[in-house]
Structure formats: structure tokens, C-alpha cells
Structure 1
Amino acid sequence: MLNDAVSSLSFFLFLAVSVVTADPAFNDDVLGLIVFKAGLDDPYSKLASWNAEDYDPCNWAGCVCDPGSNRVTELRLDGFSLSGHIGRGLLRLQFLHTLVLSNNNLTGTLNPEFPHLGTLQVLDFSGNNLSGRIPDGFFEQCGSLRSVSLANNQLTGPLPVSLSYCSTLTHLNLSSNQISGRLPREIWFLKSLKSLDLSVNFLQGLLPDGIGGLYDLREFNLSKNWFSGDIPSDIGTCSSLTSLDLSDNYFSGSLPNSMKTLGSCTTIRLRGNSLIGEIPDWIGEMASLETLDLSANNFSGNVPLSLGNLEFLKVLNLSTNMLAGEIPQTISNCSNLISIDVSKNSLTGDVLRWMLNRNSESSSLSRFSLDKRSGNDTFLSTVGFLQSLRVLDLSSNGFSGEIPSNIWILTSLVQLNMSTNSLFGSIPSGIGGLKVAEILDLSSNLLNGTLPSEMGGAVSLKKLYLQRNRLTGQIPAQISNCSALNAIDLSENKLSGGIPGSIGSLSNLDYLDLSRNNLSGSLPKEIEKLSHLVTFNISHNSITGELPSGGFFNTIPLSAVTGNPSLCGSVVNRSCLSVHPKPIVLNPNSSNPANAPPLSGQIRKSVLSISALIAIGAAAFIAIGVVAVTLLNVHARSSLSRHDAAAAAAALAFSVGETFSCSPSKDQEFGKLVMFSGEADVFDTTGANALLNKDCELGRGGFGVVYKTHLQDGRPVAVKKLTVSGLIKSQEEFEREMRKLGKLRHRNVVEIKGYYWTQSLQLLIHEFVSGGSLYRHLHGDESICLTWRQRFSIILGIARGLAYLHGSNITHYNLKSTNVLIDATGEAKVSDFGLAGLLASTLDRCVLSGKVQSALGYTAPEFACRTVKITEKCDVYGFGILVLEVVTGKRPVEYAEDDVVVLCETVREGLEEGRVEECVDGRLRGNFPAEEAIPVIKLGLVCGSQVPSNRPEMEEVVKILELIQCPSHDLE
């Protein structure tokens, strides 16, 4: 209705203004711009200078005129916060050659007439909310069009073949939309193209032959699509190519030899595919390369020596492959490197020898000069390569050797990760020379010796991980010079001496683990100043004296301090000796017949309140009403179910032989069946009958009923029969969302295998998870007591699955224990995601919250506030409540006789009062490591914060859980 009103207003305004065109000074530009403005909402009055009484638009905001003719040639309204539709008034600007309306909030579909303006050269509608398909005729008369950007909108459908008509087009950017289908072969007819960006869409299939004919192509980006098959063998013919990004697709095979001729290419990103074979030696012939990212593939063999020929290389990422052997010393010839990541391979050899070996006779030695410092050994200093390096990640390999004493020459290093290798020797004092380093991770190695006091020179450190080594000696007091530290882990070493009081000055510290060492002496009073602590562990040392009291230390679990026989205080239930006589005090926690709260609680339980009687009566009345309504509707439901089952039975009998294939009949009774597996899956013809078989029902939710059925080869699958058909706008919208969900693959996310569509029936086919829901494991009639280890694994699995969904731009909206499934191995799998996203634009948020968050207690508070944006932080809130549910074994909201118990509130109160045992499922009976349980509970409370900005990102949550996890404990 609003759009119709705006269109009518524009039309009548058009007629009204046309009357004054008899005045020769009132040209078409003024008329067109005023009509265009009438269809817009301008909240910040950016177009206040556009006045119908002004006959000269050349001084209007965003307008540029030709000085000779005073006609508008450029209209630039980038970032004006405009909303509304792009009206036809602009078509009157016959001399316009640049139209930029980017970064606004414009809606509606594309008008196919805009590119037909005879003089238009630049068209930029990026960063809006335009939707619908790109019209088939949009590019049919593209005239002199040279640059088109429709990026960051919500455009759908296939690429129009009419694109090939734009012979003058040099730049095309359609990235970050929802464009689907295959890449038309005709796109290679655009011989003038210099830049093509189709990234972050749903394009699929093989790349057609012919790209080699684009001799002027410089930037080519197809990342984050579903392309498969080999990289085109003729891509090397694009001799002008400077940037190639095919990352996050399904490309396979080896790198085509023709790529070695790309002498002008500066950037190659191929991460996240399934490429195989060795990294070819000819990679060193691509002399202009600055970024080479081959990570997350299946490359094997050695790192080629020829990489040393890439003197302009800045970023090298070979992580997460199957590379072996040593890193060649020739890499030190790459004098401009700022980031090296070779983590998660099988590389071996002496760590950093290729970089810092002072005895090397390689040609790279000419880049170093010799220097003497304080009578120490000869050090190497450098210009170029070493002073530019900012990121060095060698983690999770098989490196050995000692950390070079001249590590200080890496003066620009921000991140150094050499964890999970076999490094030995001591930590050199030169580590303190890393003045800008923020992350230092040397954990899980064989390092010995003492922590050098010079470490305090690394003043920018935020995270220090040295756990699981063989370090000895004292913790240097100079560590307090690293004032930005928020995480210190020195656990599982052989450190001795006292804990320095200077640690108390690290005001940002939230994670401190000194457990399993030989530390002694008393805890310094300064420790009490650490107000942001979430994790604190000094267990299994020889700490003596009294534990601090108050604040965070009232919540310390016993396991965080256990193994220190001479500690005293309320946490360890051991009184501290004093030279002064003790006054007689009453222990408020002891059993006392005069204690009022227990007595009052007993009295309250013995009396049935008036409010409880009212609630019981209301519940009985509602129950009678529900039964009556159910009986009245049963006949209508049964007839509709019979029709749906007949349609499903016909559809599910068809064979599906392609990755995306549908049943051959066009009869609406049969609908469309799509399977993502690429296998010839055939449903058993009894599968449809199962949709009406109560015995095959697995569960019911806000969106429908889930049944178990089987493929014809006997494999079980789960089929969700949706009950929200009337809320799904179109088949295209439904299928677009399903294709997006069908691409997801993660061990903690339920796999979507396919879908079935008719106008009256939609089925969602996904993997069958045998263990049932987490809710059943926690609260079901046949539930068994999960061990702590099982609970922690479930929480971590949910976090990883949710982080993966967020990384794929999917918000769950509906996280709760019934939507987490447990497989036969005890692994948690997040399910029922994406459907709320399909309906989020249709439903009012209050209706949506009631629909998807049908279990009380998981709904983020911002659902109740229309002015607060709904984001992924809603999922984080639901996750926080779910964490507390798993730990306590209690529902998010439970009802007492005359009261409502909110889990989040009771856990917070219990933790603050030091009643840790009450915050964990009583069935565990103390069989849990409190050093894990307490931080997990606190993490759940932080995630369940009422303020969205206080909740962490799920990626951060995963990292925190991995830090909390104590592998040395294996409680069953």
C-alpha cells in the first residue's frame, strides 16, 4: 500500500510539474530530479537543496553539471541514508553519464530501462536492499555502459544472458547477493572486461571454457560460491590478470600449468577448495606475487625452493594441507614478507633455521649485518624481510630445535605461534625485544630453563601461552610490564618460588592458570585487585597461607586451589592460625535451629496459596477449551493431511540422479524433489505413508512435525513436514534458502540432504541422528545422568556448530535443547536452523519470537524491543541459557508451588554466594572438575547477558572453552 501511494504521488507530481515546462528555464533535469525525490524518504534532509522553484539543479547536493549546457551529467548520492524506490524520474536526465546511489537503504526491484540511457557510463546501486531477479532485458541496450556495480543487495535468480551485449563494459560487480545457477558461457564475450566480481553468491557448476579470451581482465573474483571441477586450463592466457580469487568453492584437481604465465599477477587466493598434488616449482616464476594463499586444500609434498624467487611476496599461507619436509631457506630471500602461516601440516626440521641461521651460507646472508651486544654471541640484524614480518604461525607441525637467541630482530612481529611442536632448549632473553607482539604461543613443546626477566620488555603482549613445557625457576616480577595482558597460561611446567605480587597490576587479566607447578609461598594480597578474572587456577602447587576473600575469590571452586596442603580459608574449609584469640562468631552457613530462612521455607511449603488455586483453576479451564477446539478441527486436518500425503508419496518415488535434480512431471500434484548428495537416492514408496504414521513421528516444533523414514537402500533419514506454508512467499525464496543450507557441512551441524516442494506441502530432508534430542537426555523420562565430560563435550560441540553457522552468515534464532541432537558417539549436532531466517522478513518479531522460541527462557530480551536490531547475539543469549541447562540439568524456567524459578537468576545468586555445588546437576555428586565447571558457568552467564554488546562472539566462546578444558581430568 505504501509503495502504491508513493507511486501515485510521483505520478501526480509529474503531471503537476509538467505544466510549468512551458518555461524554457525549467528543464527536464529539474523535473526528473523532483519526481525522483518524491519517491524517497530523506531522514537527514540531505536533499534539502532540491527545490522545485529552483530552475538550476547544478548547485543541488550530489549533482554535477556540464558547464557548457548546464545539464546534469553526474548524480552521486552515495551514503545519503535514503530509502524508498528508485523512481522513473531519473530517466528524464538524458545527459547523465554517472549514476551513483550506493550505500543507502533503497528497496524494490531493478528497472530494466536504466541502462538504456544513451549516455550512461557508470551505474552503481551497491549497498542497498534491492531484491528480485536481474531482468532479462536489463543489459539488452546497455549503450556506452562501462561500469556496473549491484553488489551487496538481495538480488536473486540467474545471471541474464543479455550481459554479453555490453561490449564496452570494463567493470562488473555483482558480489554479495543471492544469485544462483550456472555461469553463462556468453559472459566471456565481454572482451573489454577488466574487473569481474561475482563473489559471495550461490553460483554453481563447472566454469565454462573461454576465459582465456579476456586479455584485458585484471581482477577475477568468484570466491564463496559453489563452483566445482577443475580450474580452467586456459586461465593463463589472461595475461593482464593481477588478482585471482577462487577461494571457498569446490574446485578440485591440480593447479593448471598455464598459471605460470601470469607474470603480472600479485594476488592468488585458492583457499578452502579440494585442490591436490604438489605445489609446482613454476610458482616461483610468478615474479609479481604479493599474496599467495593455498590454505585448507589437500596439497602434499614439499614446500618448493622456488618460493624464494618471489621477492615481492608479502603474505604466504600454506596452512591446513598435507605438506612435509623442511621450509626451504630460500624463503628468506622474500624480503617483503609480513605474514607466514604454515600451521597444521607435517613440516619438520630445525625451527627458524631458514630464517635466522647465522651460519647459513645462502645468498640471503648478504641482507644481514653482524653485530656484538653485551658480550653475547654474534647476532644477526636485518633490513627488509625480518623487520617487516608481522605474523608467523608454525603451530601443529613437527618442528624441532631451539628458539634462536636473536629472535629479537623480528621487530614488527605481532603474532608468534610455534605451539604443538617439539622445540627444546630455553626461552631466549631476546623474546623481550618483541616490542609490538600481542600473541606469544609456545605451548605444548619441550622447552626448559627459566622464564627470562627480559620478557617484560614485550610490553604489548595480550596473550601469553607457555603451558605444557618443562620450564623451571621463578615467575619474573617484570611480567607486570606487559600491562595489556589478558591471558596467562603457565600451567603444567616445573616453575618454583612465589607468585609475584606485581601480577596484581595487570588490570585487564581475565585468565590466569598457574596450576601443576612447584610454586610456593603465600598468595600476594595484590591478586585481589584482578577484578576481571574469569578463570583462576593455582591447583597442585605448594601455596601456603590464607586465600583472599571477597569479590571473585568468594566464587573460587575447591578444584582451583586443591593440591596445596598448607592453604587455609573458607574455600578449602581449613581455618587459619592466628596469634590473637579468636572471638566467638556464629557461622551463618552452619545448621542453626534459629535460622529463619529454612523455617520460613518449611512453613511456605505447607500452605497452598490462593494464587496457586487460581492458577490450577485457570489451567483446567484452558485444558477443556483446547480439547474442544481440537475435536472441532480434526476433520479439516485429516482431509488436508490425506492430500499432502498423496502428493508426497508420488514425489518421493522418483529417482534423483544429479546434485540438483527434480522429478520430471510438471503436475503440481507431484511437486519438486531436490537432493544435494549427488547420489541416486530413492525414497521408499512407504516413506510418504510414514508422514501420517504416528509411530514414525520423532517430534514436533514451531515449524512442523519430524518423521523418520528410509531411502530405498535402507538408510534412515529425518523428514520435517513444514506447517508454515502460508508464510513462505514463493518457491524461489524457499529454494534459495534451501540451497544455502544444503551447502553446510560441519560435524556439529545436522546435514540438510534435500527438500520437496509443492504450493501446499514442503518437506525438509536431513540426516537422521540416532541419539535424539539433548532435551530428552537431560529431562526425558528415560534420561540417564550425563557425566561431566559428556556435558562439556556437548557444550563445546554446540559452540563450534553455532560458530560455523555464524561464519556462514546464518543466524539460528531458535536455539534450545530440543533443537540440539546427540549422535551415537555423543557428539552434539545443532538442528532446525535457517527456517526462522526464511520467515524473519515476513513475521513481526514478537510473532517470530513466539513461533521459534516456543520453549520459555531462551528468548533474547531484544525481541521485546522493536528499536534494537536482531543479530547473531540472540543466538549467543540462547547458547548461554543452554550452557546453564546442561550444567545444572534444570530447565530454563521451572514452576514452584506459587513461584517461577528462572535458571539464570538462581545460578547467578548461587555462584555469588559460593554455593558451587548447587550450580551443578546434583546427580554428579561432586564428580566434576570445578576448575572447568565454574568458568563454564560464568561463561554461560556472560553469554546470557541482558545487554547484547556484552555477549561475546561465538568464535570467542569456542576459544574460551578450549582454554577452560582440562585434558588432564577425565572424569567419567
Structure 2
Amino acid sequence: MNGQAQELTLSQLPKLPRVGPKKISRLLTIGLPLISVIVILAAVSGVVYFMRRKRKFAEVVEDWELEYGPHRFKFKDLYVATKGFKDKELLGSGGFGKVFRGVLPTSKLEVAVKRVSHESRQGMKEFIAEIVSIGRLRHRNLVQLLGYCRRKDELLLVYDYMPNGSLDKYLYGQPKLTLNWRQRFRVIKGVASGLFYLHEEWEQVVIHRDVKASNVLLDSELNGRLGDFGLARLYDHGTEPQTTHIMGTLGYLAPEHTRTGRATPCTDVFAFGAFMLEVACGRRPILQSPTDNVILVDWVYSCWCKGDILEAKDPYLGSDYAAEEVELVLKLGLICSHSQPEARPTMRHVVQILDGDMPSPELSSLSLSSSGLAYAHGEGFDGFSMMYTTSTYNGTSQSSTVAASHLSGGR
């Protein structure tokens, strides 16, 4: 007991009882609430992002649209295809919307997507029905309409992509690239064939209502294809077209269309006449200047009156052209621009004339009045075509030399 005390080992001593409350970890007091807040904010942000994305790609699909099936595209697919409708994918724009290049994500098909606002008074259902009907058109000189997408008050039309763009960029001003006469004549004949198909060969009559160079697209082989059917109207063969709002482009509108609002095959023929002059002359139908407006058809007519209609041809053609073909196109353009619809040829006649299977009527009695071009003594194309048809039926042979003599018209 009085010996030496043992050395204390502190680690072996019992712990003292706790005095006061237990110390709480900082992880629990600060970290856990902070983590909770972050998780909640992330969840809310995720929901908001999902809702916004859902709203961004939201589409209204009504029951009546289900029958159109593959003709309707998803907005999300078109958004991805055009990279969000970026400006670098923009192919062109006009009064009815913008056109974007796109590649469909699933099929990798290259397409052109036209984004338009539609405020049709005839109703969206009827409009979509016509769009889908037009999607069934099949012709080598028509741009294929693949389908549509409807979102709120916006309508997107999906077409085949044409790599060489629209014809007008090869015609006006000082184009870097221009088309020679052989290429232009092939485009004119191709568009004529496409319009003939629309007017007479398909199951319904299709009135394009906006034939012009900017709506003719060139494929990889520079074949002309008539596109942009956003204004097109359909009606059954043997019936009369209904009156609609005046739609189209100034310079291509037939006089009777502006008076009555009724689009017919004859109004398309008038626009095609302006188109032929446009391609052959390399000029717009109306050339606006600060002092005056030059009307192309009047100018070509004045050249014909002077006895040198070839003066109106595009100077960019140089000397490499077939004079008889250029003259044929210029004169046929004048005939199609007649102010009276019954005096114009049909597209069937136009195709036959361009192919050399039918002569063109004379221009000798053609005159210019305040209402436009007209025949001085009331002649029309109907009488000529009946006379030609009768003579052909009776076995009379008509050659391309006859066409040239008819077209000369004493000038």
C-alpha cells in the first residue's frame, strides 16, 4: 500500500459523463438542407424544362387528321431536320413563308420544309384535305409534296429537295451561272407538260395559281419542276371552279382573275405565257424603275411590231441558240398573254405546239389595247384549234414548217 503507485493509462480510464446537449454534425445542419434544396430545384427545373419542351413541340392532332397517316410529319422531326430552323439552312423566303433545307432524322432523306402561316377562311380541314390530295400527284416535272405538319396557327409543307434551287436565280441581273437556250427550252417544255398533267390528266383539275420562275425548281440534272402548291385549288372535271380570293403574283395574274376572283386553267395559261417570256428574255414580267414600269409583254409585242422579235431575247444567250425555237417561245408567250381567256390555247395545245406537233395561230391581227393583248377582229384560239383538228382528222398533214409560216404572221 505504501509501495510505488502504478502509472495511469489515460486511454483505459472510463469516459466522463456528457455535460450539456450532444454536438450536431455540420453535415447534418448545413449540408443536408443544402442538398435537399438543390435536389428540389433540379426537380422543378426538370419539370419546367420538360413542360416547355413539350409545349415547344406540341401539336394539335384532330380525329379527322388520323386518316392521313404518313402524310403528316411530327414537328419535332422537322425541327431536328432543319437544325431548329437555323438561318444557315434557309433556302429562300417570300410572301408566304420561309423554306429551309433539312435531313429527316430517321430516313436521312433530304427535304425542303416550307414554314407558312395559314389563315384560310375555307377551314383548316378542307385545306389539309387539298394538301394531302396534291401529295398524290406524280409527274416528273412537279416537285413532290411529301406531306405536312400543323402546329397552332402554323403550317409546314414538306417537299422533295431540289439541289439547284429556283430558276429565277439563273435569269436575272448578272447571274454567276446562267442556262443556255437548250436548257431553258427543256425547262419550258417540262413545266408545260406538268401543267397539262394538272389540268387534264389527273383525276381532278388542279389550278396552280402561282406559275412563275421562282416557283420552278431545278433538280440535279437541271430539269424544271413546278413547285409550291400552297395556293393550288382542286375541283372535279366537268364542274366549275369556285370564286376565291385573288391570289398570285403581280405580272402573272390574268385580267379576268382580278375581276372575278375565279382561278381557272385559262388563268394558269396566262401565267405560263408570262413565264415563257420571262425565261426567254431574262426579265421579270414587270420591271420597276424610279421613273416608270416596263411591262415585259408590251415590250416583246413592240419588238414584234418592229419586225424583230428576237431583239427581246436574253442577251446572255449570246449566239448559241436556235432562232426558230426562241421565236416560237416569244410568240407563244404573247398568244398565252391574250386578254380574253377563250382566245388563249389550252396547255394541251401549248405542249403540242412546243413539240412541233401543232402549228401556232397567226399573230398578224394581234393588237395592244388598254385591256391588254387582243385580236383585232375577234379571232380566238378556239376557232384555230378546231380548224386544225378538223384538217388533221381529214388526213391533212401539218409539219413544223407550217408552224413557222403561221408564226411569221406577215412580220
Taking a change above 3 Å as real, the CA distance of residues 648 and 709 of structure 1, as seen in their structure-2 partners, is farther
Partner of 1:778 in structure 2?
171
String of CA shifts for 1:312-336, please: whole Å, max 9, x gaps. xxxxxxxxxxxxxxxxxxxxxxxxx
CA RMSD of aligned residues (A): 3.7
String of CA shifts for 1:42-101, please: whole Å, max 9, x gaps. xxxxxxxxxxxxxxxxxxxxxxxxxxxxxxxxxxxxxxxxxxxxxxxxxxxxxxxxxxxx
**Larger proportion of helix:** 2
String of CA shifts for 1:830-849, please: whole Å, max 9, x gaps. 011253428xx99863xx23
Partner of 2:92 in structure 1?
699
Q: 1:870 aligns with which of 255, 263, 266?
A: 263
Q: 2:337 aligns with which of 944, 954, 957?
A: 944
Partner of 1:349 in structure 2?
none
1:814 aligns with 2:177: no
Measured after TM superposition, the shift of residue 825 of structure 1 is 0.3
Q: Distance in 1 between matches of 2:253 and 2:329?
A: 20
The answer as to whether partners of 1:722 and 1:762 remain within 8 angstroms in 2 is: yes
Partner of 1:956 in structure 2?
349
Size of the alignment, in residue pairs? Answer: 300
Partner of 2:254 in structure 1?
860
Partner of 1:564 in structure 2?
none
Higher relative contact order (CA 8 A, sep 6+): 2
Q: 1:927 aligns with which of 315, 320, 323?
A: 320
Taking a change above 3 Å as real, the CA distance of residues 812 and 667 of structure 1, as seen in their structure-2 partners, is closer
**Larger proportion of strand:** 1
The answer as to whether partners of 1:820 and 1:831 remain within 8 angstroms in 2 is: yes
The answer as to whether partners of 1:873 and 1:951 remain within 8 angstroms in 2 is: yes
Q: Distance in 2 between matches of 1:893 and 1:932?
A: 24
String of CA shifts for 1:435-482, please: whole Å, max 9, x gaps. xxxxxxxxxxxxxxxxxxxxxxxxxxxxxxxxxxxxxxxxxxxxxxxx
TM-score calculated relative to the size of structure 1: 0.29
Partner of 2:70 in structure 1?
675
1:829 aligns with 2:225: yes
Q: Distance in 2 between matches of 1:749 and 1:890?
A: 23
Aligned amino acid, residue 930 of structure 1: A
TM-score calculated relative to the size of structure 2: 0.65
String of CA shifts for 1:499-536, please: whole Å, max 9, x gaps. xxxxxxxxxxxxxxxxxxxxxxxxxxxxxxxxxxxxxx
Find the structure with the greater CA-based Rg.
Answer: 2
The answer as to whether partners of 1:917 and 1:926 remain within 8 angstroms in 2 is: no
Q: Which runs of 5+ in 2 are unaligned?
A: 1-50, 235-240, 359-398, 401-411
Q: Distance in 1 between matches of 2:176 and 2:209?
A: 27
Measured after TM superposition, the shift of residue 817 of structure 1 is 1.1
Taking a change above 3 Å as real, the CA distance of residues 813 and 666 of structure 1, as seen in their structure-2 partners, is closer
1:738 aligns with 2:131: yes
Measured after TM superposition, the shift of residue 667 of structure 1 is 9.1
The answer as to whether partners of 2:211 and 2:252 remain within 8 angstroms in 1 is: yes
Aligned amino acid, residue 231 of structure 2: L
Q: Distance in 2 between matches of 1:705 and 1:644?
A: 24
Q: Distance in 1 between matches of 2:117 and 2:342?
A: 34
Taking a change above 3 Å as real, the CA distance of residues 666 and 891 of structure 1, as seen in their structure-2 partners, is closer
Taking a change above 3 Å as real, the CA distance of residues 957 and 648 of structure 1, as seen in their structure-2 partners, is farther
Taking a change above 3 Å as real, the CA distance of residues 731 and 893 of structure 1, as seen in their structure-2 partners, is closer
Taking a change above 3 Å as real, the CA distance of residues 789 and 771 of structure 1, as seen in their structure-2 partners, is same
The answer as to whether partners of 2:111 and 2:161 remain within 8 angstroms in 1 is: yes
Measured after TM superposition, the shift of residue 754 of structure 1 is 1.1
1:801 aligns with 2:194: yes
Q: 1:910 aligns with which of 288, 303, 306?
A: 303
String of CA shifts for 1:510-564, please: whole Å, max 9, x gaps. xxxxxxxxxxxxxxxxxxxxxxxxxxxxxxxxxxxxxxxxxxxxxxxxxxxxxxx
The answer as to whether partners of 2:336 and 2:345 remain within 8 angstroms in 1 is: yes
SS of residue matched to 1:727: coil
Aligned amino acid, residue 256 of structure 2: E
Q: Distance in 1 between matches of 2:233 and 2:125?
A: 15
The answer as to whether partners of 1:699 and 1:707 remain within 8 angstroms in 2 is: yes
String of CA shifts for 1:608-663, please: whole Å, max 9, x gaps. xxxxxxxxxxxxxxxxxxxxxxxxxxxxxxxxxxx999767466xxxxxxxxxxxx
Aligned amino acid, residue 70 of structure 2: M
Measured after TM superposition, the shift of residue 717 of structure 1 is 0.6
Q: Distance in 2 between matches of 1:786 and 1:953?
A: 27
SS of residue matched to 1:720: strand
The answer as to whether partners of 1:887 and 1:920 remain within 8 angstroms in 2 is: yes
Measured after TM superposition, the shift of residue 707 of structure 1 is 1.3
String of CA shifts for 1:547-587, please: whole Å, max 9, x gaps. xxxxxxxxxxxxxxxxxxxxxxxxxxxxxxxxxxxxxxxxx
SS of residue matched to 1:717: strand
Aligned amino acid, residue 764 of structure 1: L
Q: 1:621-660 maps to which residues of 2 (within 5 A)?
A: 649=57
Q: Which runs of 5+ in 1 are unaligned?
A: 1-642, 652-664, 968-972
String of CA shifts for 1:169-228, please: whole Å, max 9, x gaps. xxxxxxxxxxxxxxxxxxxxxxxxxxxxxxxxxxxxxxxxxxxxxxxxxxxxxxxxxxxx
SS of residue matched to 1:743: coil
Q: Distance in 2 between matches of 1:793 and 1:883?
A: 12
Q: Distance in 2 between matches of 1:738 and 1:959?
A: 30
